[in-house]
Amino acid sequence: MLLELMKDLLLFKQEDIKSPILILAIDLVGEKNLYIISQRLVEWIKVEGMRKKTRHLDLWPNIPWCENLRLLIEKNPAFSQSFKVVKNYLTYNDKVTEEERQKAIEYIAKHNYTPPPLISLRR
């Protein structure tokens, strides 16, 4: 489920393609909020591929995208099967295997996601 969710989030982020899973998520948090969540999760997964050890994603109270991600994990099965919230951070659901994690990391980090280049407005 993690790999499918990350593929859907990446397609949504890059090409505005909405899978049935993401349509349910949009109903819960709105399209703009889901876009921000997609961006944060895709970037977190990409960095995971460069680390030796898994690091959690901090979820700060009263930050809208963090609260919306908590809501998605609570109410959307695709998100709750892939992730869990412990105190104030996001981590993988216990049922997600190391192999599933690696497939998602490989898909995002090595094959499909390159952040846009930084543009300087200096002259």
- Summarised one tens digit per residue, pLDDT across range 62-84 is 899 999 999 999 999 999 999 99
The per-residue pLDDT for 53 is: 73
Q: How many CB atoms lie within 10 A of CB 12?
A: 23
Distances (CA, A) of 44 to 13, 20, 51, 123: 14, 23, 11, 33
The per-residue pLDDT for 46 is: 85
The per-residue pLDDT for 5 is: 94
